[in-house]
Amino acid sequence: MIDQLKWYFHPITVFVFSILALAASLVLYIYWYVEVSAGLHEVVRKYNLDAHQFFEARTWVVILVLSILVGIILVGLFIIFVYNQKTLRFYRLQNNFINNFTHELKTPATSLKLYLETFAKYDLPREDRLKYLGYMIQDVERLSAHIGRILDLARIESKSYGEEFETADPVSITEQFLRTNAHLFRNCDVQIHNPSGRAFSCSINVPLFEMLLMNLLTNAIKYNAAERPRIDIHFELQKRKLNIRFEDNGIGMEKGELKKIFRKFYQVGRADDMTAKGSGLGLYLVRHIARMHKGEIAAESSGPGQGSTFTLKLPLLIQPIQQGGNRP
């Protein structure tokens, strides 16, 4: 239904209908002009009336009709202009993403080639081999992360995850995720806060929810200038929704960035050069995943240097159930 509405309100469709309306209006006006003019001339001649009483009014009608037609054309042209500006901006973001992504792929690939050539030419001591192997593993992980993000995007946009939802507790999933990936967050402090000590029942796609957690947490670490990044995850009940707040002590954001960061290919920094950070897909995927869970995601920040807060709102299936004791 939404896709059909998008098609109906597509700027090109609107413009075509505007032109058709203009053509139909011109045809009807010409027909009206011929018929009414003939009738008026007949009445004026038959009753010997003053012609100016009729044809001055007709002139105003002509002006009104032409003004409406010109207005339709101007509105159509304005819609086309706005659409083209958005399209050009999207293509610039896409082009910047492709350039950055290509750079991110080439760098570890070139590094791997160099290490392999070094292994082939020289008989290195064991310590050097282990050191270079560690570097190679890091490069492979970077390549895997970039390729995985593209595959995730393709799967989500093609709705390949559609039916894999189950009733689960987001708190338990988050705790298990942090235990499983503890090695990724060993250089930062991640704390879970669930004052109610309750389990919450939500319809969750576990792989997608873990992808959301990974993107939000790695984002909080990437955009953080503190000596030791800190992330606090708060679980709060609000009516029949569960609010999950991710608060960090990172670099913060300008207010103008808060809505843009969820756009596809949008990167923090200038959109027309290579100074932008990130792939431009992480938070776009986060918003997509939130919507697939019938939830919402929003960002807040008091400004640069003030940290950021991302709030995920998920609908509850049932009222929370009390568990024994508080979670650590």
Domain locations in the chain? 2-89, 96-157, 166-322
CATH entry, 96-157, from 3.30.450.20, 1.10.3720.10, 1.10.287.130, 1.10.10.10: 1.10.287.130
- Give the range with max mean pLDDT: 90-99, 108-117, 151-160, 169-178: 169-178
Asked whether the predicted pLDDT for residue 171 surpasses 90, the reply is: yes
Say which residue, 214 or 99, is predicted with more confidence. 214
What pLDDT is recorded for position 144?
Answer: 78
What pLDDT is recorded for position 273?
Answer: 42
Asked whether the predicted pLDDT for residue 231 surpasses 90, the reply is: yes
Q: State the average pLDDT over residues 16-34.
A: 69
Our CA angle for 311, 297, 156, nearest 5°, is 135
pLDDT interval class at 297 (50, 70, 90) = very high
The label of the residue with tokens 């879970």 reads: 192
189 Ramachandran zone, left/alpha/beta (phi>0; psi -120 to 50): beta
Q: By C-alpha distance, which of 181, 194, 213 is closest to 290?
A: 213
- Give the range with max mean pLDDT: 103-117, 176-190, 270-284: 176-190
Say which residue, 208 or 324, is predicted with more confidence. 208
* pLDDT, tens digit (0-9, with 9 covering 90-100), for 117-134: 888 888 888 888 888 888
Asked whether the predicted pLDDT for residue 152 surpasses 50, the reply is: yes
**SS in 3 state form for the chain?**
CHHHHHHHCCHHHHHHHHHHHHHHHHHHHHHHHHHHHHHHHHHHHHHCCCCHHHHHHHHHHHHHHHHHHHHHHHHHHHHHHHHHHHHHHHHHHHHHHHHHHHHHHHHHHHHHHHHHHHHHHCCCCHHHHHHHHHHHHHHHHHHHHHHHHHHHHHHHHCCCCCCCCEEECHHHHHHHHHHHCHHHHCCCEEEEECCCCEECCEEECHHHHHHHHHHHHHHHHHCCCCCCCEEEEEEEEECCEEEEEEEECCCCCCHHHCCHHHCCCCCECCCCCCCCECCCCHHHHHHHHHHHCCCEEEEECCCCCCCCEEEEEEECCCCCEECCCCCC
pLDDT interval class at 324 (50, 70, 90) = very low
Asked whether the predicted pLDDT for residue 77 surpasses 80, the reply is: no
What pLDDT is recorded for position 271?
Answer: 41
- Give the range with max mean pLDDT: 50-54, 144-148, 266-270: 144-148
- Give the range with max mean pLDDT: 37-46, 72-81, 141-150, 294-303: 294-303
Q: State the average pLDDT over residues 184-190.
A: 89
Q: What's the alpha-carbon Rg for the chain, to the nearest Å?
A: 31
Judge contact between 290 and 312, C-beta under 8 A. Answer: yes
Angle of helix 206-222 relative to helix 170-180, nearest 10 degrees? 60
Q: 166-322, which class in CATH?
A: alpha beta
Asked whether the predicted pLDDT for residue 75 surpasses 90, the reply is: no
Q: State the average pLDDT over residues 29-37.
A: 66
What pLDDT is recorded for position 94?
Answer: 62
Distance CA(153)–CA(159), nearest Å, equals 10
Kindly tell me the sign of the dihedral angle through the C-alpha atoms of 133, 135, 137, 140.
negative
96-157 and 166-322 in the same fold: no
For all residues of the chain together, what is the average pLDDT?
76
| Percent above pLDDT 90 for the chain | 21
